[in-house]
Amino acid sequence: MFLFKLISFLLGYVTILVTGDAPEKLINMAASRGISLWDVTRTGDGGIRLKVRVNAVKPLRHMARRTRCRFRICSREGLPFYFARLRRRKALALGAVFCVGVLYLLTSFVWFIEVRGNEQLSSAELLEVAAEAGLARGVPKWRVETGVVEAKIIERLPLVAWTGVYIKGTKVIIEVAERTLPVEEDQQPAHIVAGKAGLIKEVLVVSGHPVVKEGDTVVPGQVLISGVIPAVEETAPGTEPESGQKPREIKPAAYVHARGIVRARVWYEGYGEVPIIEEGRRLTGNTETRTSIKFEGKEIILSGSKNIPFEYYEVDTLVKSLPSWRNLTIPVELITTKYHELADYRIERSPEEARRLAEERALQKALASLSPNTRVEKQWVEEVQTGNVENLVRVKAIIEAVEDIGTDKHFKP
């Protein structure tokens, strides 16, 4: 069926209306002579509407005379008729050809360049090197040699381990894989100080002088591992003691960048409260959107209801203005207003249910404040009593955790 319709479109076909005493005779005679008819429908006035190819119109005229029927052409469709219309409108045809040619020409250039995979290098650096190899916005695609661009990027940017250049339509994608360079250690003298208060549980010193020990309580900013190694007295090598005294030499103080791990017990708190009887307004999920255009202070509604169908609601407004051109500003705004319905609600909870919800909220807040790589030792909750009869259930959650509390603090010797 598809092939039949395609051939009919290429050859051209017409829609005709057959009238007369017996239009069925014309259809039967045409079918018996091998003429293809389709989309045959009866009209209200006794006529029959159908479609037939152009080359069968002349034989149908003879058959219409023999069957005492008449027909008229209602519409003409197909490629031959389109060409005939274009011949009458040469300017339109030339314009269409010109537009197609311009579009084809524009698709032969590179208009977009996307850089992927770069973290240490900036996109500007990669685009600059690619431009030296002939890849830039506006150049013809046939002039872009992807292999040359890849080799140029590898040559000019040692940080790039691999690169690939792909052309997709008017867009060129540059993918790079960067080398992982070893991070240079900071050698500037520094202490390790407490980032928060806690009870010291473990001190592991890599470099520096430990100032605290297990069981000490520290406060934020207190030095844990000092970057100053104090001077010490040592016995001089190769010397013999005289008169019962040991010869000694003083090893001067040293300044290092302290390194190590100081783990301490830290406590986090979270607070939660839940009313036993809760009243208020909340969103129902129903919305109403209104779009309007505003010109010189006058607002015209394009779509949506003029009257808001909600008694209580929240409003979100999005205003779009036409871009200014030079010093000319067009005072036209497109305003999209979205109304979110609010409804009154009332929730009654038992004291046990309110306490459970308050505990969940308090624990969530306490857990949210935990630092990364923190090990939770234990947790518990306490109800906060105010001594007054209230509608609220107040709960405090406490989490005991162990974590590395040390942070670097540089100093000048």
Count: domains in the chain: 4
Query: Would you give the DSSP letter of residue 143?
Result: G
The pLDDT of residue 76 is 85
Residue 207 lies in a domain: yes
Residue numbers of the domain that contains 282: 277-348
Residue 330 lies in a domain: yes
Q: How many CB atoms lie within 10 A of CB 20?
A: 17
Residue 254 lies in a domain: yes
Residues 61 and 10 in one domain: yes
C-alpha 242/C-alpha 154 separation (Å) is: 70
Residues 141 and 201 in one domain: no
Bridge partners, 165 (sequence order): 174
Which of 158, 178, 198 terminates a domain? The answer is 178
Residues 143 and 207 in one domain: no
Amino acid found at 24: E
Q: Is 64 helix (H, G, I), strand (E, B) or coil?
A: helix
Residue 45 lies in a domain: yes
Q: What angle, 0 to 180 degrees and rounded to 10, lies between the N-to-C axes of helices 2-11 and 79-88?
A: 30
Residues 327 and 287 in one domain: yes
Do residues 257 and 186 touch, judged by C-beta distance below 8 A? yes
Residue 395 lies in a domain: no
Q: Which long-range contacts (CB under 8 A, 24 or more apart) does 378-383 make?
A: 383/355
C-alpha 16/C-alpha 235 separation (Å) is: 122
pTM of the model: 0.50
Residue 78 lies in a domain: yes
Residue 397 lies in a domain: no
Residues 78 and 118 in one domain: no
* Distance between start and end Cα atoms, the chain: 92
Mean pLDDT in consecutive groups of 10 residues from the start of the chain, 413 residues: 80 86 83 85 83 86 84 85 77 80 85 90 90 89 90 90 90 90 77 93 92 93 91 61 57 85 94 92 92 82 84 91 68 88 93 92 92 89 85 92 93 85
Residue 89 lies in a domain: no
Specify the CATH number for the domain of residue 75.
3.30.70.260
Which of 123, 158, 178 terminates a domain? The answer is 178
Which of 214, 238, 262 terminates a domain? The answer is 262
Specify the CATH number for the domain of residue 168.
3.10.20.310
Backbone angles phi, psi at 217, to 5 degrees: -100, 130
Bridge partners, 338 (sequence order): 289, 316
User: In 3D, which of 191, 245, 250 has the Cα closest to residue 218?
Assistant: 191
The pLDDT of residue 251 is 67
